[in-house]
Structure 1
Amino acid sequence: MPARQSPAMVERLVDQLSPRDRAILHDLAKTRVLTGNQFTRLHFQDLSTTSRDRTRRKVLERLASHDLVTPLERTIGGARAGSSGLVFALGVTGQRALPLLDIATDTASLPTRARRPWTPGQSFLKHTLAISELYVQLHEAQAASQLTLVRFAVEAAAWWPDGAGGLIKPDASVCLVSDDVEDSWFLEVDRATESPVTLGRKLRRYVDFARTGQLGPDGVTPRVLLTVPHERRMRDVQQLMARLPPPADQLILPEFFEAATARVVQVLRE
């Protein structure tokens, strides 16, 4: 485990970071966890196919040696995934470095004090990485000039007052722009681990939010993109929505996870 860095040492370390290093820390602050493969798609895709993985490994190993990032104990994809399946979080030094970066970084989802990352359970980790995957896909859509990603906030940074003394708690809050069109979304990544009853209660809260005229962070009532993993869960969602009052059919957009990014791009262009 790297030794704890003094504030002066952290400041000197930040001064030595490249723009790509800073962007890597920014992405981890946004998403909390990313795999090696996701980092390749975010920051090393412009390199040749023979050097992408090698360069990514070197960069992440260097950042890990300073405790700016840290690999978790669990990998994704099994042994064959190699280093691309490693899962990374911000290290203690990385958390302490965030306020010193010269880029906008929302740290609302991080603890108020820097803490050693812990490896969550498999189900929680897969859910969090699924949210990260949507972040990566939206960045890829932005690189393809399909949209501009104005905001992607997760967990606590995405939560919003519901107008009744509580909070709407989406998995992520997103703002997308194309030309003069701006779309605001609450994202719910469903992995069919909750009962239909629990999911129905969650969806009803979004409907109540809209029915009472509540506005989200962009000054409008966000639509809800609900991603589902398979056809059986989609049937469950369709049955749930049939029992919800208006404007559920206009407010909530269910979609298979693998088609979610393409769908929000389509909606943005309509």
Structure 2
Amino acid sequence: MTDKQNKRITKNELRRLSAILDSREIEIVRTIHQVKFASANQIQRIYFTENEKQSTNLRTCNRKLKRLKGFGLIDNLDQRLGGKGGGASSMVYGITSAGYQFLRLDDMTLNATRKRLYEPNILFLEHTLAITETYTRLHEMNRLNKIHDLQVTFEPSCWRTYMKNGTTPTYLKPDLFARFAVDDETEDFVFYELDQATQCPKRVIRKCKQYLIYYNSGIEQRINGVLPWVVWITPSEKRRDQLTRHINEAIPNAERIFRVITMDELETLTYNNHKEED
């Protein structure tokens, strides 16, 4: 990361930036804050799709990211997707302290202070970028009218609280929550869990059973009127098959709530779910 992220920006300067940035630039800063880290490729796919040529869209996106970095609102990590040879699209961005204070100008619900941008460990970064990729693909599906009225809640806002054993406040911590319409009559609610194949299946089973305890509390039904799907997204078909086998062996009728897919199966999942229901 550059020294730009350590530069203090006055509130007057932040207000000046608020006046000169366009709405898309502000939304980019807000999105990077929500997802924690995003690659240039992911930002391009969310915000820059007007041109038929992908290379043109990416160049436009990179100019915007460079501009926001120049203002000190975001910065790129030293780490890149796929290593140093990945090109500009592989650069990963996070929000700076100044960028966070910039967002607070219009959203005082954010905490007054925020820690400086840091270089995360590789496992945390890969997991976070997988969450961002899930959001990016849902956004693309919504833009192409494959789903409608997409609403996404990021952590920690998507976490749920319930009482364990009736006495102990406990957090259920999904990676992402999405609500969207499939057609004029059907609306889906989904908790997403991004598996990186770094933990044993027993830990995944424990998390699944935590969902069951939470569902049995009745809290979610009172919030949304339905029980959301729980979708585990794995990095490979081998891992998908492994988790599917373990979940089905440990939890009776697991398919009523849980789905295990790869990232490339995300788009077809909704169609297949409702085809099965029909």
> Which TM-score applies when normalising by structure 2?
0.86
Aligned counterpart in structure 2 of residue 235 of structure 1, from 234, 241, 247:
241
Q: What is the distance in 2 between the residues matched to 1:105 and 1:48?
A: 39
Secondary structure of 1:116's counterpart equals: coil
Q: What is the distance in 1 between the residues matched to 2:229 and 2:158?
A: 14
Q: What is the distance in 1 between the residues matched to 2:189 and 2:158?
A: 12
Q: What is the distance in 1 between the residues matched to 2:159 and 2:34?
A: 14
Name 1:72's counterpart in structure 2: 77
Residue type of the alignment partner of 1:236:
Q
Name 1:218's counterpart in structure 2: 224
Query: By how many angstroms is 1:232 displaced?
Result: 2.8
Residues 241 and 249, structure 1, Cα contact 8 Å, conserved in 2: no
Name 2:119's counterpart in structure 1: 119
Name 1:63's counterpart in structure 2: 68
Residues 29 and 105, structure 1, Cα contact 8 Å, conserved in 2: no
Query: By how many angstroms is 1:148 displaced?
Result: 2.5
Name 2:50's counterpart in structure 1: 46
Q: 1:10 to 1:265 in 2, by over 3 A?
A: farther
Q: What is the distance in 1 between the residues matched to 2:273 and 2:140?
A: 17
Name 1:190's counterpart in structure 2: 195
Tell me the alpha carbon deviations over residues 141-186 of structure 1, each in whole angstroms, 9 at most, x when there is no partner: 1110111253222221211113432011111111112324221111
Query: By how many angstroms is 1:191 displaced?
Result: 1.3
Q: What is the distance in 2 between the residues matched to 1:60 and 1:93?
A: 15
Query: By how many angstroms is 1:242 displaced?
Result: 2.5
Secondary structure of 2:224's counterpart equals: coil
Query: By how many angstroms is 1:71 displaced?
Result: 0.5
Q: What is the distance in 1 between the residues matched to 2:255 and 2:272?
A: 18
Q: 1:23 to 1:268 in 2, by over 3 A?
A: farther
Question: What 5-or-longer segments of structure 2 have no aligned partner?
Answer: none
Tell me the alpha carbon deviations over residues 186-226 of structure 1, each in whole angstroms, 9 at most, x when there is no partner: 10011110011111111111122223333165343221011
Residues 229 and 257, structure 2, Cα contact 8 Å, conserved in 1: yes
Residues 76 and 87, structure 1, Cα contact 8 Å, conserved in 2: yes
Name 2:32's counterpart in structure 1: 28
Name 2:14's counterpart in structure 1: 10
Q: What is the distance in 1 between the residues matched to 2:116 and 2:253?
A: 44
Q: 1:148 to 1:244 in 2, by over 3 A?
A: same
Residues 151 and 176, structure 1, Cα contact 8 Å, conserved in 2: yes
Name 1:161's counterpart in structure 2: 161
1:254 aligns with 2:251: no
Secondary structure of 1:193's counterpart equals: coil
Aligned length: 265
Residues 30 and 105, structure 1, Cα contact 8 Å, conserved in 2: no
Secondary structure of 1:243's counterpart equals: helix
Q: What is the distance in 2 between the residues matched to 1:145 and 1:166?
A: 37
Q: What is the distance in 2 between the residues matched to 1:96 and 1:83?
A: 27
Q: 1:148 to 1:99 in 2, by over 3 A?
A: farther
Secondary structure of 1:224's counterpart equals: strand
Residue type of the alignment partner of 1:120:
P
Query: By how many angstroms is 1:243 displaced?
Result: 3.4
Runs of 4+, deviation exceeding 4 Å? 104-107
Residues 77 and 91, structure 2, Cα contact 8 Å, conserved in 1: yes
Q: What is the distance in 2 between the residues matched to 1:144 and 1:77?
A: 28
Q: 1:268 to 1:21 in 2, by over 3 A?
A: farther
Q: 1:235 to 1:146 in 2, by over 3 A?
A: closer
**What percent identity do the matched residue pairs reach?**
25
Secondary structure of 1:166's counterpart equals: strand
Secondary structure of 2:220's counterpart equals: coil
Q: What is the distance in 2 between the residues matched to 1:117 and 1:137?
A: 26
Aligned counterpart in structure 1 of residue 23 of structure 2, from 19, 22, 28:
19
The answer to which of 79-88 and 230-239 deviates more is 230-239
The answer to which of 122-131 and 111-120 deviates more is 111-120
Q: What is the distance in 2 between the residues matched to 1:265 and 1:39?
A: 26
Q: 1:85 to 1:149 in 2, by over 3 A?
A: farther
The answer to which of 88-97 and 238-247 deviates more is 238-247
Q: What is the distance in 2 between the residues matched to 1:96 and 1:235?
A: 44
